[in-house]
């Protein structure tokens, strides 16, 4: 959601992001994170995201796969935590 801001006495309405010059060249963009609706459980455990309160947050979602087959599974099938159902 865009924010109303005041910078050096001037007011700006509905600002979605601010881009500022960096020391040494280039720019840094700062976006409003309050639009974030994801929580740690919505994001993969190997990823990070910016939470609505502006903090860098680690995801906690673990994806498990389910395999089926008629025999003993190969040792190279799947990852720890996955399930194999013998039919």
pLDDT band at 87 (very low <50, low <70, confident <90, very high): confident
Answer yes or no: pTM beyond 0.85: no
For the stretch 36-71, pLDDT in tens is 999 999 999 999 999 999 899 999 998 888 888 888
Environment class of 1 (CB within 10 Å of its CB; exposed 0-12, middle 13-18, buried 19+): exposed
**What does the CA dihedral 35, 41, 47, 53 come to, rounded to 10 degrees?**
30
- Answer yes or no: is pLDDT of 81 > 80: no
CA–CA distance, 26 with 15 (Å, rounded to integer): 21
Q: Where are the domains positioned within the chain?
A: 1-35
pLDDT given for residue 73 in this prediction: 81
């Amino acid at each position: 959601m865009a924010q109303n801001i005041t910078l050096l006495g001037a007011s700006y309405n509905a600002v979605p992001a601010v881009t500022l010059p960096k020391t040494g060249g280039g720019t840094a963009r700062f976006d409003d994170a309050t639009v974030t609706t994801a929580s740690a459980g919505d994001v993969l455990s190997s990823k990070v995201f910016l939470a609505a309160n502006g903090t860098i947050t680690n995801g906690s979602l673990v994806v498990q796969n389910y395999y089926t087959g008629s025999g003993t599974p190969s040792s190279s099938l799947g990852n720890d935590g996955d399930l194999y159902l013998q039919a």
